[in-house]
């Protein structure tokens, strides 16, 4: 006899049973649905006459706020022919085809048990390649199965890290930990490592994998706000070490204690004790416009072998060639120097402060100054000040431009900035929190309105130093939005691509001005280790490579596309262009 409900043309149905005894779950019959049946997998029943497969399950229903269900519900769903084929004839090909189809939670581990007896090598390849579109339960099963069936391979892969095509650069001591890597030349990378609370900078030349120099340093700035503590700037290697306790109760007010500046041969040029001012804005009026909570001026600038460093209400100017201090410039009105310096075509040095700008001539005399009442989010090269609530103030004319969102009720509300505006050739991009972005020209006139925005990094809980979610390269603009999308547009606002994502964006950068790299958080059941997803895009937004990598500690890319990453005490390299060729061939 064929299935009763199948004969009537039903594909799905459900029935309820009221709760009479909280200690007992009702026993629903299945005989009236599938007749004589067998149970190939949990919650899946096959009619022994017509061989149709049904998914029959029981769950509690009622008010979700209630401790106990009011009813139990039995639901039955007739599987279509495609899913039935997977149940009857399980193969790896069928599994991959239906990896996103609806099945009971335990189905994929159960069916993998069957497949593993027929196609163990294919499953091994799936684990090594980390096929992404499998359910979590299948990935977890594969990890445990691979560890049990191929223990030697598992230990090698875990020790070596993914991907397996990577080349070993250098091994470190057994218990040595890589904290960060930084490229300082096309073929030179500097590694900061720690072993038994001893910190070392090691410069490595690639592809020879030769150690060029080593320097011992003190503990990096790790306590408090998250900022880069080893980085390349304008021909020099810079390092923040130690920390000053900014607040007994608020760790975000902690700051580094010392700045070290090295040349690229590893020689220490300057070791400067830092005296940064850092405080939290308390004024309600101030917050109403700027929406910054914590002011931290860790930034400094290096122009033409000259270092410009904040020091209380002064700018200290150092000559990196002679290693001597050149000048101490008293800022106007005691304003705090933000660390940003620009040189105009006429040779005038322009300093950005937290609330304005001032300029000096060749004799270090102040020749121009302007101060706002509030803290701008950004000051552009045309000396326009941008505030959180979408106000642009021009110091040339004194006028203010505002951007409103008009509601159906004719109420106008000021847009709010999601992240700092960014300048691009002939224009500026302004991202708003209401999923809008505006492209403006140099005269601040609207060119185009876009229905995309960036991660929100400027809101009420901002801590003054934020990751930058928007990247401007030679030909395009990449806009990243956590747990939402990666979008790429050209300078006219035309959309080149939009890629949906479901995780946080850790970093977006370009190593050559043409290609874009986006690094995402990655919680992947194929591994229990800390991982990131690495996405490599061309200038049109085409994905050239997607990889799961260890990290993000120790991950960086050279100027010609050599990726460095660390796995425990070992450092590996990978040529992105070679890897992308292999990736595209396998698509």
List the structure tokens of 465.
């130093």
Residue 502 CA from chain centroid, whole number? 11
Dist. CA 108–CA 89, nearest whole Å = 14
DSSP state of 35: S
- How far is the C-alpha of 579 from the C-alpha of 89, rounded, in Å? 35
For the chain, 587 residues long, give each residue's pLDDT as a single digit of tens: 566 556 555 667 777 777 666 666 667 777 767 766 677 888 888 877 777 888 888 777 766 566 666 777 778 888 888 888 888 888 888 888 888 888 888 888 998 998 998 899 999 888 887 787 888 888 989 999 999 998 888 877 766 555 567 888 988 888 899 999 999 999 999 999 999 999 999 999 999 999 999 999 999 998 878 889 999 999 999 999 999 888 777 888 888 999 999 999 999 999 999 987 777 777 777 777 887 777 788 889 999 999 999 998 899 999 999 999 999 999 998 888 999 999 888 888 999 998 999 999 888 999 999 999 888 999 998 899 999 999 999 988 888 999 998 888 888 889 999 999 999 998 999 999 989 999 999 889 999 999 999 999 887 666 666 688 999 999 999 999 999 999 999 999 999 999 999 899 999 999 999 999 999 998 878 877 788 999 999 999 999 998 888 878 899 999 999 999 988 788 999 999 999 998 888 77
Ranges of H-type helices in 119-161: 120-129, 136-149, 151-160
Count the Cβ atoms, other than its own, within 10 Å of residue 129.
14
Taking a C-beta distance cutoff of 8 angstroms, is the pair 288, 282 a contact? no
DSSP string, 291-356: ---EEE----EEETTEEEEEETTEEEEEETTTTEEEEEEEPGGGPPEEEEEEE-TTS-EEEEESSE
Q: In what order do the strands lie in the sheet with 543-550?
A: 505-509, 516-522, 531-537, 543-550
pLDDT value of residue 225: 81
User: SS3 for 331-346, per residue?
Assistant: CHHHCCEEEEEEECCC
DSSP sequence for 395-432 = TTT--EEE-EEEPTTS-EEE--BSS--EEETTEEEEEE
DSSP readout, 365-383? -EEEEEE-SS--SEE-TT-
Give the whole-angstrom CA distance, residue 320 versus residue 260: 12
> Distance between CA atoms of 431 and 425, rounded to whole angstroms?
17
Give the span between the Cα atoms of 203 and 181, in whole angstroms. Answer: 10
72 Cα distance to chain centroid: 43
User: Cα 323 from chain centroid?
Assistant: 37
> pTM for this one?
0.81
Q: In this predicted structure, what is the pLDDT of residue 5? A: 59
Distance CA 273, CA 276 (A): 10
Residues in the chain: 587
What distance separates the 2 farthest-apart alpha carbons in the chain?
101
Look at residues 529, 528, 483 and name the one whose alpha carbon lies nearest to residue 506.
Answer: 483
pLDDT at position 347: 81
* C-alpha–C-alpha distance, residues 224 and 55, integer Å: 52
C-alpha 533: how far from chain center: 9
Identify the three-state secondary structure at position 560.
coil
Structure tokens at 581: 């060729």
Q: Which residue has the tokens 């939009």?
A: 498
Token output for 142: 């594969």
Q: Which two tokens stand for residue 247?
A: 């607040």
């Amino acid at each position: 006899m064929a299935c009763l409900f199948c004969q009537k043309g039903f594909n799905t149905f459900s029935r309820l049973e009221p709760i009479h005894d909280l200690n007992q779950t009702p026993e629903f019959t299945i005989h009236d649905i599938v007749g004589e049946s067998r149970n190939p997998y949990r919650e899946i029943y096959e009619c022994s006459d017509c061989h149709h497969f049904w998914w029959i399950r029981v769950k509690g229903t009622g008010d979700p706020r209630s401790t106990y269900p009011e009813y139990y519900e039995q639901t039955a769903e007739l599987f279509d022919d495609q899913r039935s084929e997977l149940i009857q004839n399980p193969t790896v090909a069928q599994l991959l085809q239906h990896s996103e189809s609806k099945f009971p939670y335990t189905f994929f581990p159960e069916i993998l048990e069957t497949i593993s007896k027929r196609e163990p090598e294919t499953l091994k390849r799936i684990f090594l390649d980390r096929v992404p579109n499998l359910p979590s339960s299948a990935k977890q099963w594969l990890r445990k199965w691979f560890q049990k069936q191929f223990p030697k391979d598992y230990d090698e892969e875990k020790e070596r890290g993914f991907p397996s095509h990577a080349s070993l650069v250098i091994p470190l001591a057994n218990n040595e930990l890589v904290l960060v890597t930084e490229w300082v030349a096309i073929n030179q990378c500097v590694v900061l490592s720690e072993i038994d609370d001893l910190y070392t900078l090691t410069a490595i030349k690639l592809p020879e994998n030769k150690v060029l120099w080593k320097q011992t340093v003190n503990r990096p700035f790790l306590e408090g706000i998250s900022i880069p503590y080893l980085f390349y700037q304008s021909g020099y290697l810079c390092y923040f070490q130690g920390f000053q306790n900014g607040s007994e109760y608020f760790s975000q007010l902690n700051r580094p204690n010392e700045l070290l500046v090295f040349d690229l041969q590893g020689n220490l040029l300057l070791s400067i004790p830092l005296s940064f001012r850092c405080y939290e804005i308390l004024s309600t009026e101030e917050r109403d416009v700027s929406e910054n909570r914590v002011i931290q001026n860790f930034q400094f600038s290096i122009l033409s072998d000259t270092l410009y460093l904040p020091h209380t209400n002064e700018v200290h100017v150092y000559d990196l060639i002679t290693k001597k201090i050149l000048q101490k410039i008293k800022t106007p009105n005691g304003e705090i120097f933000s660390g940003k310096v620009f040189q105009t075509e006429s040779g005038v040095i322009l300093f950005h402060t937290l609330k304005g700008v001032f300029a000096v001539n060749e004799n270090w005399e102040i020749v121009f100054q302007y101060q706002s009442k509030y803290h701008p989010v950004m000051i552009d090269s045309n000396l326009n000040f941008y505030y959180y609530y979408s106000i642009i103030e021009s110091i040339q004319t004194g006028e203010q431009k505002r951007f409103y969102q008009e509601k159906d009720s004719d109420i106008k509300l000021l847009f709010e900035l999601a992240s700092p505006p960014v300048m691009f050739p002939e224009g500026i991009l302004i991202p708003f929190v209401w999923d809008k972005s505006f492209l403006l020209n140099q005269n601040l006139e609207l060119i185009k309105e876009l229905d995309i925005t960036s991660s929100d990094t400027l809101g009420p809980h901002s801590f003054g130093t934020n990751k930058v979610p928007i990247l401007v390269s030679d030909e395009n603009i990449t806009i990243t939005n956590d747990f939402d999308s990666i979008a790429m547009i050209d300078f006219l606002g035309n959309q080149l691509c939009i890629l949906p994502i479901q995780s946080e964006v850790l970093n977006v950068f370009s190593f050559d001005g043409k290609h874009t790299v986006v690094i995402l958080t990655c919680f992947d059941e194929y591994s229990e280790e800390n991982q990131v997803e690495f996405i490599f895009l061309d200038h049109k937004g085409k994905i050239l490579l997607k990889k799961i990598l260890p990290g993000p500690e120790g991950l960086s890319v050279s100027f010609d596309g050599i990726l460095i990453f660390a796995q425990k005490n070992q450092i590996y390299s990978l040529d992105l262009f070679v890897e992308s060729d292999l990736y595209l061939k396998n698509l």
